[in-house]
Every structure is written in structure tokens, then in C-alpha cells.
Amino acid sequence: MPPLRIAIAGALGRMGRQMAVAIEADPRLALAARFHRPGAAGEGLVSRDEALAAADVVIDFTTPAASVALAEACAARGGPALVIGSTGFDDGELAAIAAAAKTIAIVRSGSYSLGLNVLVGLVEQAASALGPEDWDVEIFEAHHRSKVDAPSGTALMLGEAAAKGRGIDLGVVARRTRVGIIGPRPQGEIGFAVMRGGSIVGEHSVGFCAEGEVVTLSHSAGDRIMFACGAIAAALWVAGRPPGQYDMRDVLGFNAS
Ligand SMILES: NC(=O)C1=CN([C@@H]2O[C@H](COP(=O)(O)OP(=O)(O)OC[C@H]3O[C@@H](n4cnc5c(N)ncnc54)[C@H](OP(=O)(O)O)[C@@H]3O)[C@@H](O)[C@H]2O)C=CC1
Ligand SMILES: O=C(O)C1=N[C@H](C(=O)O)C[C@H](O)C1
């Protein structure tokens, strides 16, 4: 079987550079093209249109606006398939990606880590067993000083999992900030806390806190290579799939009934 042709969006970014290393080392793949912002200078970079023409799958770790524009460009030409790793989308941007996924296959996940996606299932299970009458859910995340969105995409995935386990909508119970005299904690709230500093790759924990006891489920990322390996698994899985929006738990078979 010929190698799967991959294009990298945001090739000069932290994840774009990590993706190139991982793809070059994988005999199942060919690094077909690397592209960045229009006009960006860098060895071997091509235009977005050239990259789309050369690839079976594009792997994209950029920004919400760039990912939406890319999804629309891929959909307009009927491919290639897309693996989106960017985080920080608003509702309108998510709707635009869902619209593009009516024409092409798109995998989107706030984390391509296998371990983190296992943790998502554990959080849903724990939230279902530890009800809101006695157990408060608090999510903590820490990242490097250059990260621009908060809470992280992963923290939001964990919040969605906890809300799902309790059969509620995260939007109704999420508490993203606390400042000043805020009063006692409302029952059922799912709180988020954010730390930024240094070169932290990604720390996440979900605390279930009751009178006299705390259960903590956590994940620690020490290197970006496992995000890149997860994105490669997603690219191999999504190539040739019918149009639709998928996530990493689909790739891993965790959503199969
Ligand atoms: N899902 C996952 O597993 C992971 C997700 N992420 C997410 O991926 C995203 C990128 O992270 P990271 O690599 O650390 O960030 P970086 O800022 O290092 O990389 C993003 C790159 O995208 C470039 N870019 C911006 N606009 C465009 C465009 N229109 N076309 C092409 N490239 C563009 C930026 O260029 P410029 O520098 O010129 O602005 C930047 O170099 C973030 O949203 C992050 O949260 C990160 C790690 C894992
Ligand atoms: O920006 C990052 O670095 C990361 N972003 C993702 C997120 O927002 O959860 C994944 C990972 O934690 C690293």
C-alpha cells in the first residue's frame, strides 16, 4: 500500500514542527507538504492550495480562525480529509466546522493523547457515581506561558465528560472564573481553574470533592510527541472515511456500541 500523503498546517508552530518529525519517522506516511500563514518564509513551505492538492489528509494545529478557513477550503474542493488539533473555538466556529464536515471527513479533538482520552471515560463514570448532592467537580489545568486559550480544550473535554456523566449540559453548570466576594459554591457547579507558566506541556486534573474526602483523576503530558502520534493515528483512521465529524474516541473505538 502506498504511504498516506499528509500535509501539515501551521508548519512553523510548536505542534507543526513536532508533526514533521513524527511523520518523517513513520513508514506508513509521506510528508507531502508543509504550509503556514500566507507569505510566511520558511524552507520547503508551499501555499495552502498546493498543499491541499498534494495530500490525502491535512493535520492542523493552528488557531480557530485558521482551522475554520482550512475546513472551508477543504470542503470547497471536496477534500482532503482533515485532522484538527486547534483549541479555543467559539460556537460560531464550531458550527462552521460542522458545516464543512457535511462534505468532508473531519476528526477534531482537544487532545490526541491516548491516555487523556481514557481519562475522559473515567471522569464520565466517576461523575455518574459521585452525584452533585455530595460531590463538587473542579477541573484544573496548567500549560506553558505561550498558550493563548483558556480553559484548555482538554479541560473543556473533561468538563463535558463530567456533565455527561451527570446527564446535564456543561454550559448550564460551568464556572470559568471566580473573583471577589462570590458567595458559597452553588451545588452542581463544574469549576475550572487555570495556571500558565514556563514550558509546562499540559497538566490536567479533575477533583471530586465531598465532606472529608477527595477523589482526583489526573493526566500529565511531558512531551508533545504523543499528541503527534495520536494525530497520526487519527489521520490513518480518517483517510477514505465518509463525510462527518469524528473525535479521538471514535478513532480509538471508544464510542462503538
Ligand atoms: N489537540 C491536541 O492534542 C493539541 C492541541 N494543541 C492546540 O494546537 C494549537 C497550536 O498549538 P501550538 O503548536 O502549541 O501553537 P503555535 O502558536 O506554536 O502554533 C500555531 C501556528 O499556527 C500558525 N498559524 C496561524 N494562522 C495560520 C494560518 N492561517 N495558516 C497557517 N498557519 C497559521 C501560527 O503562526 P504565527 O506564529 O505566525 O502566528 C503558529 O505558528 C493550539 O490551539 C493548541 O491549544 C496543542 C497541542 C496538542
Ligand atoms: O496549547 C497546548 O500546548 C495544548 N493544548 C491542548 C489543549 O488546549 O488542551 C492540548 C494540550 O494540553 C496542549
- Residue pLDDT, tens place only, 3-44: 999 999 999 999 999 999 999 999 999 999 999 998 898 999
**Tens digit of each residue's pLDDT (9 = 90 or more) over 135-166:** 999 999 999 999 999 999 999 999 999 999 99
Q: For residue 189, give the C-alpha cell.
A: 457547579
Kindly state whether residues 131 and 213 are assigned to the same domain.
Answer: yes
58, 100, 112: which is closest to 83 by C-alpha? 58
Q: Using a pLDDT cut of 70, give the percent of the chain over it.
A: 100
Q: Which domain holds residue 99?
A: 4-108+224-251
Confidence at residue 257, expressed as pLDDT on a 0 to 100 scale: 63
Domain shared by 177 and 245, yes or no: no
Shared domain check, 171 and 91: no
d(CA 130, ligand 1 centre) in Å: 36
Q: Ligand 2: which of 147, 194, 205 to mutate, judged by most atoms within 8 Å of the beta carbon?
A: 147
Specify whether 244 is located in the same domain as 181: no
Q: Which atom of ligand 2 is least distant from the CA of 14?
A: 3
Q: Which helix (H) or strand (E) holds 150?
A: none
**Residues with catalytic roles:** 143, 147
- CA 252 to ligand 1 center in whole angstroms: 24
Give the CATH number, domain containing residue 65.
Answer: 3.40.50.720
8/103 same-domain check: yes
CB 10, CB 61: distance < 8 Å: yes
Q: Tally Cβ neighbours within 10 Å of residue 44.
A: 10
**Percent of the chain surpassing pLDDT 90:** 97
How many angstroms separate the CA atoms of 134 and 26, rounded? 48
Q: Residue 231 CA: which ligand is closest?
A: 1
- pTM for the model stands at 0.98
Atom of ligand 1 nearest to the CA of 40: 38
- Is the CB of 67 within 6 Å of ligand 1? no
Distance CA 228, CA 60 (A): 11
Q: Are residues 174 and 141 in the same domain?
A: yes
- What integer is the mean pLDDT of 164-175? 98
Grid cell of 28 as nine digits: 506508513
Same domain for 146 and 167, yes or no, is yes
257: in domain: no
